[in-house]
Amino acid sequence: MLNTIGFLGCGNMGGAIARAVCKAADPQNVWLANRTAAKAEALAAELGCNTTINDEVAGRCDLIFLAVKPQMMEELLAPLRFTLAERPSRFVLCSMAAGLSIARIQEMAGGDCPVIRIMPNTPASVGAGMIQYCTSNVTAEEEAEFLKLMAPAGRLDAVPEGLIDAASCVSGCGPAWVYQFIEALADGGVACGLPRAKAQEYAAQMVLGSAKLVLESGQHPGALKDAVCSPGGSTIQGVRVLEKKGLRGAVMDAVIASYNKTKEMGKG
């Protein structure tokens, strides 16, 4: 049973997942630890949960989120190996570190412990995340409990571990590129005379609605694009310019570049 939940790290992603978990679990059963204690204390005050130290989380919590950057994982886990090894009760580690395999997490933690590997994204902080996950040595009951705890964060999808890096480079890295696109759309609106705040609102809502239509209609994005492009109209002229400038090729290259970097980080 995953009754007590601990977070080792309370940065942007750890904080986003903690906010979601505290909607599904009693915040009094959630414990936060962070290298900078003040950050954990501020988040605990916001959510109504508790703060502690890394060793206490490692020794007591049933589900332990490892919410640090890949290059910091070994430094985090090395001092906790003895505590984890001496635990009389079962526990599950949950890593959100890009590029680090389950086997590598188990190696760092010092044993063949149960691990859930997730690739969340920042929209999880508003309940609209896309989170892929894979597991090792986790029971069906534990997986079901985990999915209930994570449900307030957004959509979850089980994938083979061999695909999780590619998945993370679409939905994990993707928000940064979407924000660039929204900013560029707003800049274009401002250039055409719209007030900045209005241009940004229109661009963001348009992206939100377009994504919702893709998910709910089940139609191919190309078909939805065609439906907006009237013969001889203004939209197709914009499409022509984006094709000329290589939008699709640039986006594909961005995903591939991120994927290659993720694989490189996993070798460290």
Would the annotation count 67 as a binding residue?
A: yes
Would the annotation count 70 as a binding residue?
A: yes
Helical residues (DSSP H) of the chain, grouped into ranges: 12-24, 37-47, 54-60, 73-77, 81-85, 102-109, 140-150, 161-167, 174-191, 196-217, 221-228, 234-245, 247-266
Would the annotation count 8 as a binding residue?
A: yes
Characterize the bridge pairing of strands 129-136 and 50-51. Answer: unpaired
Opening angle at CA 65, ends 141 and 135, nearest 5: 45
User: What's the mean pLDDT when you consider all of the chain?
Assistant: 96
Evaluate whether 74 touches 95 at the Cβ level (below 8 Å).
Answer: no
Give the alpha-carbon dihedral of 95, 96, 100, 101, to 10 degrees: 60
Domain ranges of the chain: 5-164, 174-266
pLDDT, residue 1, reads: 87
Q: How far apart are CA 210 and CA 185, in angstroms?
A: 14
Residue type present at position 15: G
Regions of the chain where pLDDT drops below 70 = 268
CA 151 to chain centroid, in Å, comes to 13
Would the annotation count 9 as a binding residue?
A: yes
List pLDDT tens digits, range 156-211.
999 999 999 999 999 999 999 999 999 999 999 999 999 999 999 999 999 999 99
- Return the CATH number of the domain spanning residue range 174-266: 1.10.3730.10
Would the annotation count 34 as a binding residue?
A: no
Tallying the residues shown for the chain, one arrives at 268
* Full DSSP string of 133-176: EEEES--HHHHHHHHHHHGGGEEEEE--HHHHHHHIIIIISHHH
Would the annotation count 24 as a binding residue?
A: no
The distance in angstroms from the start CA to the end CA of the chain is 33
Residue 156 CA: distances (Å) to CA of 67, 151, 167: 18, 7, 12
Residue 4 CA: distances (Å) to CA of 70, 159, 229: 24, 26, 53
**CA neighbor of 120 nearest in space, from 108, 103, 132, 137:** 132
Q: How far apart are CA 11 and CA 122, in angstroms?
A: 11
Evaluate whether 266 touches 103 at the Cβ level (below 8 Å).
Answer: no
pTM: 0.91
Would the annotation count 69 as a binding residue?
A: yes
The class that CATH gives domain 5-164 is: alpha beta
pLDDT, residue 268, reads: 60
Evaluate whether 135 touches 86 at the Cβ level (below 8 Å).
Answer: no
List the beta bridge partners of residue 51. Answer: 32
Both structure tokens of 124 = 């999880």
Both structure tokens of 46 = 């916001």
